Amino acid sequence: MKRLRAAAILLFSFLAVPALPQSACEPDGVQPSGSKYRICMPPAERYNGSLVIWAHGFQDAGTPVSIPEDQLCISGFCIPELVNALGFGFATNSYRKTGLAVLEGKADIRNLVDIYAARKGRPSKVYLVGASEGGIITALSLEQDPDVFSAGLAACGPVGSFPYQLTYFGDARATFQYFFPGVIPGDPFDPPDVLVKVWSQYYEKIVKPVVMAPGNRHLLDQWVAVANLPHDAGNYLATVETSVKDVLRYSVVNLKDAAATLGGFPYDNRGRWYTGSDNDLLLNLGVIRVAADVAAITAMTTSYETTGRLQRPLITLHTLRDQQVPFLHEELYDWKTFLAGDWLTRHVNIQVDRFGHCNFTPDEILFSFILMLAYDGQVQRVSGLNTVLDPAQVAAFGRLAQAWGIPYQGEGEALTLGPKGDRR
């Protein structure tokens, strides 16, 4: 769940309107937990009284606690300025720890709402928008704190089943060891600290050349099938290499932190039957088997698992071939919301037929954000799309808007989100 430069485009970086109004960010503060926070405001005359909170994505364990700046700005535009340009207040924070920080992030964001209210007044609406790890934080927050959050947009997050997310990474590592034994030294699930520190260089110099070698292509193809690694059939080797790099990084760099945070080892494959190899019987006899600790299973199923029970709107957005957070999460969450009676009434998923984690286009993100506001009854029509999207993107936005019955207009001097009841 790294690649958050891709997720930085996620949400608002594409909303670059000409002559943006001034955005004023206060000096960063520190929450009681140690999480760092930032508040940015539009000019007083433009403030609409509502707040948008950005829940950032995963940061590798061991990196310093800080607001991830590389997730705030891209292509010369920064999220706080663009959110403020739309009239919203903006706030974000670092979370109190790096690595697995779902519960910590959720608590720190809840506290951030109170800090914002104390400094700027209680907002009329609070919208929570998150990507990757921030996506599951958003989903859990909407389910558990409907009195705080008005609506949410959870993009590319592990919202369907948290244990499944760790199973995906664990299965990839266990089966990699079978197909490429000895390429990564040490215990597959307890890598030496020295390897963790130099993993990026070790992967590029040692692992990648072996895995991607033409002579090992058949082994690679089998592993891709067995581990269900997403890829783009039209760009197979390049997208497979991206999947390989991402799934191995988590088990080497971040699994120890996940185990410490969850109170025990979280992955179990003792009963798993793997398929997709030339000889599945031999594969299942030879693959490494490990057991999860009861404490970790309990923590995941009681504190990290979504329910699908919603009192507020939640829009989710996901690519079909996400190599870090598989799309299956959305199917699982759809099923949860269906059983809870909230599917389509409070939750919809927008699926994007594309490879890549948080790999969205500006029109897809803009539409998802507007659909969230529409579900909350705050937007009836959209105009001025030509000021933030190119003609092809306006057309793509229009197809989505027509499918969901949201009136739109390409022309205008600025992007305008017409409120409910606005018939202009």
Q: What band does 77 get if pLDDT is binned at 50, 70 and 90?
A: low
Contact yes or no for 131/11 (Cβ under 8 A): yes
In this prediction, residue 297 carries a pLDDT of 97
The pLDDT tens digits of the residues spanning 25-45 come to 999 999 999 999 999 999 999
Q: What percent of the chain has pLDDT over 70?
A: 92
Structure confidence at residue 420 (pLDDT): 54
Distances (CA, A) of 74 to 7, 13, 69, 92, 357: 10, 7, 10, 16, 16
- Note whether 8 and 155 are same-domain residues: yes
Q: Which domain holds residue 141?
A: 4-160+307-418
For the cut 90, the answer to whether the pLDDT of residue 156 exceeds it is yes
Residue that terminates a domain, selected from 269, 299, 329 = 299
Residues 150 and 217 in one domain: no
The answer to whether residues 244 and 136 belong to one domain is no
Average confidence (pLDDT) over 147-174: 98
User: Which residue shows structure tokens 């699930």?
Assistant: 189
DSSP collapsed to 3 states, 248-305: HHHHHHHHHHHHHHHCCCCCCCCCCCCCCCCCHHHHHHHCCCCCCCHHHHHHHHHHCC
Average pLDDT over residues 311-325: 98
Region 67-94: mean pLDDT is 81
Q: Quick one: average pLDDT of 332-358?
A: 97
> Is 423 among the domain residues?
no
Q: Is 218 a member of any domain?
A: yes
Query: In this structure, are 257 and 182 located in the same domain?
Result: yes
Q: Is 40 helix (H, G, I), strand (E, B) or coil?
A: strand
Give me the pLDDT at residue 408, please. 92
Which of 7-16, 77-86, 394-403 shows the lowest per-residue confidence on average (mean pLDDT)? 7-16
Same domain membership, residue 370 and residue 276: no
pLDDT, mean of residues 286-308: 98
**pLDDT of res. 7:** 39
**Is the pLDDT reported for residue 232 higher than 70?**
yes
Together in a domain, 76 and 110: yes
CATH number for 120: 3.40.50.1820
Residue 132 in domain: yes
336 with 411, same domain?
yes
Higher local confidence (pLDDT), 218 or 4: 218
pLDDT bracket for residue 366 (50, 70, 90) = confident
Tell me the pLDDT band of 6, cut-offs 50, 70 and 90. very low
Q: Examine the domain organization and report whether 365 and 284 are in the same domain.
A: no
Q: What is the pLDDT, as a whole number, of residue 1?
A: 45
Segment 266-289 mean pLDDT: 98
How far, rounded to the nearest angstrom, does the alpha carbon of residue 344 sit from its chain's CA centroid?
A: 21
Mean pLDDT, residues 125-150 taken together: 97
How far apart (Å, rounded) are the C-alpha atoms in residues 151 and 141? 10
pLDDT band (50, 70, 90) for residue 184? very high
The pLDDT of residue 415:
76
In terms of domains, do 46 and 121 share one? yes
Which residues, at least 6 apart from 363, have a Cβ–Cβ distance to it below 8 Å? 389, 393, 394, 396, 397, 400
Note whether residue 424 is domain-resident: no
User: What mean pLDDT comes out for the span 132-150?
Assistant: 98
Q: Check whether residue 319 and residue 193 sit in a common domain.
A: no
How far apart are alpha carbons 318 and 101 in whole angstroms?
21
**Is the pLDDT reported for residue 46 higher than 80?**
yes
Domain tally, the chain: 2
Residues near 156 by beta carbon (within 8 Å), at least 6 away in sequence? 7, 10, 131, 132, 135, 317, 318, 319, 322, 324, 325, 357, 358
